[in-house]
Chain A
Amino acid sequence: MTEKGTGKVRRPLLERLGKEWLFFDGGTGTILQEKGLKGGELPERWNLSRPEDIIDLHCGYLKAGCDIFNTNTFGANSLKFSRENGELKQIVEAAVALAKEARRRTDREDAYIALDIGPTGRLLEPLGDLSFERAVEIFGEVVRIGAAAGADLVLIETMSDSYESKAAVLAAKENCDLPVLITNVYDSSGKLLTGGTVDSTVALLEGLRVDGLGVNCGMGPEQMIPIVQRMVETASVPILVNPNAGLPRAENGRTVYDVGPETFADWMKKIAGMGVQAVGGCCGTTPEHIRRTVQAVRGTACLPGEPGKAAEVAGGSGAETAAERGVPFVPNTRKGRTVVSSFSRAVEIGKKPVIIGERINPTGKKKFKQALRDNDIEYILSEGLNQEESGAHILDVNVGLPEIDEPQMMAEVVSRLQSILPLPLQIDTSDPAAMERGMRLYNGKPMVNSVNGKKESMEAVFPLVRKYGGVVVGLVLDEDGIPETADGRMAIAKKIYETADRYGVPREDIVIDGLAMTISSDTKGALTTLETLRRVRDELDGHTILGVSNISFGLPQRSVINAHFLTMAMQMGLSCAIMNPGNEDMMCAYRAFLALSDMDPQCMGYIEAYANAQRTTVTAAAKAGSGSSAAGPSDKTGTSPGGTSAEGTAGGPALPDSAGMSLGDSIRRGMSKSAADAARVLLEAGTPALRLINEELIPALDYVGKGFEKGTIFLPQLLMSAEAAKAAFEVVKESMQDEKQETKGRIILATVKGDIHDIGKNIVKVMLENYSFEIIDLGKDVAPETIVETAIRENISLVGLSALMTTTVVSMEDTIRLLREKKPDTKVVVGGAVMTQEYADSIGADCYAPDAMATVHFAEEVFARSDHTAS
C-alpha cells in the first residue's frame, strides 16, 4: 500500500496526498505544558530556549507513524515576535531545523515538515482593526522564512475566520511554491466562529486553489462528524480531519481532554471511513492517540515494526480481522457544483434561478453617480440593503465612473458591503485593476462580471479567477462583435470554456451570458438569446445569465416585456437573472415560475409573498410608475430611512397608520414615511421648499432637540425624528433638482485611532446632517495624520472626535496636538463615553459635547462666528 518505513525517500507530497492515507501529528500545547510550559509563556520561544524538548515532541509523533508534522510556529508572527531584532526569523528557522533534526533522529526522512501557521489573534477590518493586506503581509513574512528554511508544505490551521483564512492562503501562495493545506475551527452548530458554513468555506478555499482543506480543534472527533459529512458532500480536494481529544475541561487550573487514545482511534476510524483522506489530532491528543489512529485506519497488517499490536488495537470489540484490514482508502471526487459565497452564505447556481440585484450601478442613475463623486458610501450601501430586502440572492457591484478612482472605490464598497450584508457579491467592472482589488478584498468566492471571447479579455480575467477564485460571467461576443445567430454565440461560449480550462479555471466556474438585446431594434433578438440559453444548457451542460431588462430598451411599459421575457428565459434554463428585485412585475414572474416548476416546496415562498398582498394590475402598476424602467422604482425607496414597503416585507417594525398627519407632527413623532408623504403633499400643493423647511421642518426638529436637552425626549426618539426629517429633506431635495444645496459648513467626524466603536460618532453625524452641515466621515480607528491631512486639504474649520475608552483618549490628545501644530485655526469638539469637561480641557479640546445636540450647538456657534469674521 505505501512504502512508509521501507524506503526513506520523500516523494512530493502531492503525489501522495489524496491518493493514499496520510496522517498528521497531534497536540503540541498539552505536551509542552507537561514539559513545564507556563500559562503565559509563548511556546515558540522554546525553539530557541529548549530545543531538545521540541525535538522530543516531534520524535514522539514521528515514531507514532505520522506522515505530516507541524513546526512549532503556530503563533510565530511579527505581532508577537520582533521582526527588527531578528527574533521572528530565528524562531521560525529554528523550528524548521528542529523538525529536520527530529526527522533525522527517527530515520523518518519520508515525513513532511509542515510550516504551521495559526491565526494572528486579531480580527480583520472593518469589524476589527487589522487590515486585510497587513494580515497578508504578516503571514507572508513567516511563509518566506519557513519555505527558505526547508519546510515541505504550509499548513494553515485553527482558523476561525474565513477572511483571515483567505489572507493566509494568499500569503502562502504568493510567497512560496509549496503545497498549501488549511483546516478551520467549526463549532457544534457547524459554523466557523465568525459565521461561515462548511459550504461557504469550501467554496472560498477551493476557489483559492488550496491543495487540501478540513477541520481541526474546537471539538472532539464525535462532535465533528456532521461537519465532516458536509465536507465530504461539498469538497473536491482532499479532506483533512484533526480533532481535539474531546471537549476541553478544567482541572486544577489546567485544560484537560478526556478522550483516550483507544476511543479516539475508534472515532477516527469511523471518520476515515466517511470519505476523508488524511487524519490526525489537535489539542489534547498525544503520540499514543496518533499511533492508535494510524493502526486503526491503515490496518495493523501493514504497520511496520510493531507486529504484536493487533490484538491490543482491536480491544474489546473483537473485530480483529477488521483491525488488520483497516479502512479502505477512497479518494475524494470532483463535485462540479457552481457556488459563490459570502462570509456566511453559499449560493449554488444551477439548481433554481437566482436573482442578482443590479441597482449598485451608476449607469443611467444621476443620484448614484453623484453619490460616487461625493464618496457617499452610505447611499450605495442602502441600495444594497434595499435589494436584499426585496429578495436578491447576489448583488452586482459596479462603481465605474470615468472621474473616480475605480479600484479604490471598488475596494471600499466591497469591504463595506460585505461587513453588513450576507449576500455574495458580483464584482462588475471592465477595469482589470478594479476587478483584482475587488476579488482580492472580497470575503468569499465572488461572481465576476465579466469576461468575453476576446483574447485580450480572457488573458486579463482568467488569471485573476484562477488566483482568487470566482464564478465568471462569459459574454458571448468577441473581436468580431456579437453573433446574430445562436450558432455563432455557441461557438464563442465553447471558446470561453476551452480557454478557461487552459488557465485552470474549471467549467463549473463559468456562466454564459446569452446577451439580451432590445427587441425594439431586432425583433428576432429575444429568440436568438433564448435559443442560446437552451443550447448552453442542453449541449454544454452549462449555466447561463442575462441582464434581463435590456430586452425592452426603447419600448413603453418595459416591465411587461421584462417580466414575460424573464419567464421565457427561465423556462429555457436561465440560471441567473440580473435584474431589479424592487420591480414587482419581475418578482411576480420569478415567484410564479418557481411555484409552477416544482422549485417552491408547497408553494410556501409564493404564499408568503402574496397571501396578504393586494395585487394591482400590471397596467395600474405601470401607470403608477412602478416599472417603467429599470432605473425607476427603487429610487424612491433608496434613501427613505423607514416605512417603505420593502422594509415591511423584511419584518421591520410596522408603522401605525399615519395618513394625513402634518409634516411637523410626523417629524415630532419620528415617522419617516408619513414625513416624506407630508412633504410631498405640501410641495405638490405649491408650498415653496424654503418655507416648508423653515416653517415646518426646522421648528419640529428644534422642538425635539429642546425636549431632548430638557430630558423629556430620549435618544431613540431624537434619532427617529432626525430620520423622519431626513426623509422629508430627501423629498425636498428631489424637488429642487439642480439647485445648489446650501450647507452651513463642512465638518470632519472621526473615531480616533485604536477605537473601533463608532456608534456615538454616527449619532452625531445624523444630527449634524439634519441641521444642514456637510459631514466628512473618516470612520473609526482613524490615525491623527489622516484627520489632519484631510483638515488641511479640505480647509476644515471644525473637527469632531469621539473616543470610547480611556486607553484611546491618548490618540485623541495626539490628534489635537498634531492639529494645533499643522492647522491651528481648526476647532475641535470631543465626545465619547469616558469624556468629561475636565478631561476635554486637559487634552486641549475647544469644546466638550456631552451629547449630539451639544455638538450641533457648538457647530452653529463656530460657523456663525466664521461667517461673521468673513463678512
Chain B
Amino acid sequence: MINVDKKEIYRYLGYRRNMPDAEVLRTVDYCLGELQREITPRFVYRQYPVESVFTMPGMQSHDTGISLRTEKGAGISSDRKKGPQIPLLRIAGMEIRSLSLSRNLRGCENVYLMAATLGLGPDRLIARASVTHMSRAVILQAAAAAMIESWCDEVNQRIIDEAASQGLYCRPRFSPGYGDFPLEYQQDFAQILRMQKEIGVSLTESCLMMPSKSVTAVIGITKEKQGCVLHGCEVCENSSECAFSRNGV
C-alpha cells in the first residue's frame, strides 16, 4: 500500500487548478485500487564515494572500461548548457560530465545511488485498459506516475533517515535525463545496482526502463543541513517548460 496524493494525479491528468467531475473521481479511486493490488514495489540503494575533478571535456581518463559520455543523449537542451568548466564526476566507476548534477552534488563526498519500481503490474493494467477503456488507461497512467513518485519519496526517506543516523543530510534526488545528466547512464545504474537481478528492472535498447514505472536517482549526502529535499522536480532545469512541473501550481 503506497499513499498517493490524489492532487498529483489530477495534475498529471492536466486539471491544473480544476477539480475532476464525479465520474472521473470514481474512476481514479477504482484505478488506485487496481494499482494497489497489482503493484510489486521494490527498491535498491547503496552508498558510493563521489569524486569531482576538473579536466578538459573529451579527455579520456583511466581504464575503467566505461567511456566518457557527455553530450550524447542530452538531446535538444544540451548545447545551451555547455560551459567550459564542467567538472568530471566519478561515482562507482561511472564518469559523468554534467553541470546540473555537479551543481547538485557540490561539496558531497558520498552519494547514494537508488532505483525504485512498482513492477510490471501497472504496465499490464495500462495495456489492458488501452484495449477497451482508453480513459481508464490514461487515469491508470497518471495514478501510477503519482504512485512511483510517492514510492520514491518513501525510499528516499529511508535514505534520509540512514544518513541522519550518521549526522548527515541529503540533497534532492537527481535522475539521469534531468538537466544535462544523460539518460544513457541508466546502463551504468543497471549494472552497478544489479537492477534486473535485485528489483526486476531492465532497459530497452534506447535506455528506457521496464517496468515503465521505475526511477533511478543519485542522492548526494553532505554535512550541511538542507531544506526541502524530497522533491526531485524542483532541481530540474526543464521544470519551467515541463507540463507536469509543480512550479505552475
Interface residues of A (CB under 8 A from B): 38-42, 45, 119, 121-123, 126-129, 158, 160-161, 185, 187, 189, 191, 193-195, 217-218, 248, 250, 252-253, 255, 378, 381-382, 385, 419-421, 641-642, 651-654, 656, 669-671, 714-717, 719-720, 722-723, 754-759, 762-763, 766, 781, 804-809, 833-834, 839
Contacts and interface: CB of A to CB of B under 8 A. Distances in A.
26 contacts: A39-B93, A40-B93, A127-B120, A127-B210, A160-B197, A191-B40, A218-B198, A253-B49, A385-B128, A419-B124, A641-B132, A653-B30, A670-B23, A714-B20, A715-B13, A716-B20, A716-B27, A717-B24, A754-B206, A759-B126, A762-B134, A781-B204, A805-B183, A805-B208, A806-B183, A807-B75
Interface in B65-124: 65-66, 73-76, 92-94, 119-121, 123-124
Contacts of A218: 197-198
A529 to B, nearest CB: 37
A660 to B, nearest CB: 18
Given A40-B188, A670-B23, A763 B40 contact: no
Given A723-B135, A756-B212, A805-B206, 9 more contacts: A40-B64, A128-B210, A129-B204, A161-B200, A382-B132, A653-B30, A716-B24, A755-B208, A759-B138
B93 A250 contact: no
Given A40-B65, A255-B46, A385-B132, A754 B30 contact: no
B28 to A, nearest CB: 8
Contacts of A191: 40
B239 interface: no
B131 A808 contact: no
Contacts, number: 197
A671 B23 CA distance: 9
Contact of A653 (B26, B46, B131): B26
Given A40-B65, A129-B205, A714 B13 contact: yes
B133 interface: yes
Contacts of A126: 127
A755 B14 CA distance: 23
A385 B14 CA distance: 29
B195 to A, nearest CB: 9
B138 A122 contact: no
A253 B48 contact: yes
A382 B168 CA distance: 54
Contacts of A669: 23
Contacts of B60: none
Tell me which of A385, A421, A806, A833 has the highest count of chain B C-beta atoms within 10 A of its own C-beta. Answer: A806
Contacts of A248: 198
Nearest to B123: A127
Contacts of B49: 252-253
B202 interface: yes
A161 B202 CA distance: 11
Interface string B231-249: 0000000000001000000
A253 B196 contact: no
A421 B129 CA distance: 11
Nearest to A761: B130
Interface of B: 13-15, 18, 20-24, 26-27, 29-30, 33, 40, 42, 45-49, 64-66, 73-76, 92-94, 119-121, 123-124, 126-128, 130-135, 137-139, 141, 183, 188, 190-192, 194, 196-200, 202-208, 210, 212, 243
Interface of chain A: mostly helix, strand, loop or mixed: loop
B204 A123 contact: yes
Contact of A715 (B23, B138, B183): B138
Contacts of A253: 46-49, 92
Nearest to B202: A123
B40 A195 contact: yes
Nearest to A75: B191
Contact of B204 (A128, A194, A642): A128
6 shortest A-B CB distances, which residue pairs?
A: A193-B200, A806-B75, A39-B93, A250-B46, A719-B135, A754-B206
Contacts of A419: 124, 127
A727 to B, nearest CB: 11
A161 to B, nearest CB: 8
Contacts of A39: 64, 92-94, 191-192
Contacts of A781: 204
Given A42-B65, A255-B46, A420-B131, A189 B203 contact: no
Contacts of B46: 250, 253, 255
A328 B92 CA distance: 46
Contacts of B190: 121
A722 B76 contact: no
B20 A766 contact: no
Contact of A420 (B33, B75, B124, B134): B124
A420 B64 contact: no
B124 A127 contact: yes
Contact of B134 (A194, A195, A766): A766
Nearest to A712: B18
Contact of B212 (A195, A723, A757, A833): A757
A132 to B, nearest CB: 15
Contact of B131 (A252, A255, A382, A806): A382
Contacts of A719: 134-135, 138
Contacts of A806: 73-76, 183
B73 A807 contact: yes
B189 to A, nearest CB: 11
